[in-house]
Structure 1
Amino acid sequence: THTHTHTNTHIYEKQKQRERKKKYIMQHYLKSKQILPFVLGILFHGLFWTLVDLTNDLQNYGANNTFVEPQQKALSSFSVEEEEHNASTAAADVNEKEETTTTEEIATEETTATAASTRSNDDWCSAFQISTASSTLTASPSSIWKHHLQKILHATRHPSDPKEEFAYHDFTAQLLNYMTPQRLQTSIKTLPFRYWHTVQRVFQTAWDRYQYIQHGVLPHNTTEPPRKLDILIMGGSVTMGVVCTDNPVKKTNLARRACAWSGRLLSFLNDLFGDVVSVHTTTLGGTNTESAIRIWDYALYPSEVSYPD
């Protein structure tokens, strides 16, 4: 009897809990049902008056102003003439500013140093000026690229590829059609904004060597031939030339470790400018940029590798 009474009491309590829960749910639903129309009314009311104000503003703007349809800028192809014109304009602006600069406050020593620097810069820039029958064009990446494109094409030839065959001639010509100076500019990851003096030193070293190779000219106050520009390339398996024994582009006998881009860079630059640069490669498969940074920071180069420029 006691067990039966306890069971009935438990069932009764469960039923009361269900009823209370239903009552609570109904009350909450009724409150929500009353609040929801009120909230929606406020939203629609605000939206309506916002549209009215916007319509009035547009009508007032149309009465006081003439709306001009924006002109879409037409996409233009790669223009060498435009870049040359921009370079010429920039050079003219620089010359005009230099002419208007007063020299009364400049000391005699500074004037002499400036003149010497200007002569040096003029000599360096003259290597990139393009002479035509009528005038000399101001150097720009596009004009240099266009003027020397045929020479650049033949400089890409693999050293083991006979000149008569040039197995990759058509493939390379098509590639150079895409790799314009504009595209090369966008591929630069980091610009040396704070290290332009290093860039100047690199160019000066290469220029002194180039002048000696081409004309036998020695730098001032020196009797020894100028040294080569030392380039150090660090990388992993790709730079090392792994799987170079199987060339995926074309089945020729040119597939060897020298096909890695680091080795091709040496032949390319020296074919263009003469024996100007020396390329050293320090590679190890599986390494990344962090490994190269450690090698650079602590100068962990092989003994036969000179300190790179």
Structure 2
Amino acid sequence: MNVYDSTPARLLLQLHSEASPWQHDSYCAGFEISQWRCSALADHIIEWLPDYALKEDELNVNHGNIYVRLKEAAARVYSTKAYEKRGELGEITLHAICRDYFKTIPLAPRVFYKTASNDVVKSFDMAHVRYVDDGTFEIWLGESKFYKSGVAAISAAIKSVKEHIDAGFLKREKFLLGPQVAQSLPHADKIRKLLANQTSIDALFQNAVFPVCIACDSDAVNSHKSHTAEYVQGVYGELTELREKLEQSGLPSKIKMHLIYVPLESKDRIAKAFDKRLKGLTIED
């Protein structure tokens, strides 16, 4: 069995999945005893840490090394520059949803991918592959925004993606990613060829999906205490607003976009809960 076949038990519930005019979905942590499940979501993101931060050959975890592996994953996340702004929390959420719901597999662990780029020029927040059938695959190049304001988050995401699809940027990304594609991946040679300098960027566009994850404070979450039809409708309204702003940018007419919305009760509260758990794994006596 491949190590990527094992994933944490699902927590985030898919509320919406709309394919028209292009794919846009929403996911929520839900409620418990009239409270948004902040602690449960923080725990869940910690569960995904090893899958997010460790290399494939480090994911052979057993009861004898599980604590060491978790600490290694936490240390790698905690030491990155993005963590100072809590950007990693959004990235792990995007990683978890794509791995869980769409069965993607990392082309390269995000932490190592960023290290290769020296953090000088911002790289994609996620680089995965999704196998559509036995003969075809998609390269998923993701962007995540973990903000208080959804409007600010989608505006920042649009700016980032527009910068990312620049020819010069994509050539650089291909140069970084190509050598990191594990030979153990199905169709590894085809993936490497697609990412080779000699291959046109047009071929990458034909095979690529650009998921954008927006995790932000939500009026729908804050005005409800349980998973009601009214709550689901409220989240759909927020998802639609984000989708319309992304549509107005013109990006969906150029590349294959996939909007992922994760409504939060409080960005600051979940960041604090996650920080406490991460610090507990990185503390030194």
- Give me the TM-score of the superposition, normalised by structure 1: 0.24
Bigger RCO (CA 8 Å, 6+ sep): 2
Q: In proportion to residue count, which structure has more strand?
A: 2
- Give me the TM-score of the superposition, normalised by structure 2: 0.26
Q: Which has the larger radius of gyration?
A: 1
Q: In proportion to residue count, which structure has more helix?
A: 1
